[in-house]
Amino acid sequence: MSKEKSNEYLEELISKVNKLTPEHIASWGKMNVSEMLLHCSRFIDLYVGKIPLPKWYKIFGVSIGRLFLWYVSKLDPSKTPRNLRTDKRIMVNDKSYDFENQRALLLKNINSLSKLSGTINHPIYGKMSSDKIIFLIWHHTSHHLNQFGINKKEQNKKPTQ
């Protein structure tokens, strides 16, 4: 995948996050829209190494987790399994988060991804290209945008790699 494709993913996410309103309701799951925004921000923080993880995560991630990544990355985000177990470091359970603050934080985190380049030492899966990390973040965030009705069927097609 090219840097140009990674930038397309980021631009798509920014456009779709900007379509969210506090009135959006989840079609599945327990999070409200503000919690989802924070969850996606924390997911980015985890993927770029800002959230510390136990060493056993990497042992599991490098050995077995890559199979999960391979499987999920072949799916359209609308087909990704719902309600998977969420690590407590990125779980959000407080309905009182401010929507505008959480959207601004997620947009800031998405924009910061444009600075990633080369090979990144992912805290769970080991060495990965920055483009692959951006793709996986796009996939996860698109999955949650779908949860809130932002990705319509015709818009929710995974871009070709």
Q: pLDDT of 93-113, one tens digit each? A: 888 889 999 999 999 999 999
The domain spans of the chain are: 3-147
Is the model's pLDDT at 152 over the cut of 60?
no
Q: pLDDT of 41-64, one tens digit each? A: 999 999 999 998 888 888 888 888
Question: From the centroid of its chain, how far is CA 145?
Answer: 10
pTM score of the predicted model: 0.85
> Cα(129)–Cα(121) distance, rounded to whole angstroms?
9
CATH architecture designation of domain 3-147:
Up-down Bundle (1.20)
